Copies of this chain bind each other. A is one copy, B any other.
């Protein structure tokens, strides 16, 4: 489960190369956590942070929040809310799509976006 830490560390260090405002300390300060805590996160010494902190971190590092949340073993609470409002419907849909190939899911996304209902 140190996937999360490695990912964050890599992303941050790649930004740090060109911009020294991306030191661990400065990033920690901007996202509102203690440096020691972020250090432990990057090194997988503690569990991934809360949803809120994860999202702040993702934005700070210019990463997709949903991806970083996933690495942290979480699912965005706004997605959960959508499911909880119509549990039968969405549970069925998601289970149906579990093994569908990416392009099939994407096709559906496009269909829906083009609003043909």
Contacts and interface: CB of A to CB of B under 8 A. Distances in A.
Contact of A108 (B82, B84, B112): B112
A39 to B, nearest CB: 25
Given A97-B112, A117-B104, A73 B82 contact: no
Interface string A13-48: 000000000000000000000000000000000000
Contact of A84 (B70, B104, B112): B70
**Interface size for chain A: under 10, 10 to 19, 20 to 34, or 35 or more residues?**
35 or more
Interface string A77-91: 011101111111111
A86 to B, nearest CB: 7
A91 B76 contact: yes
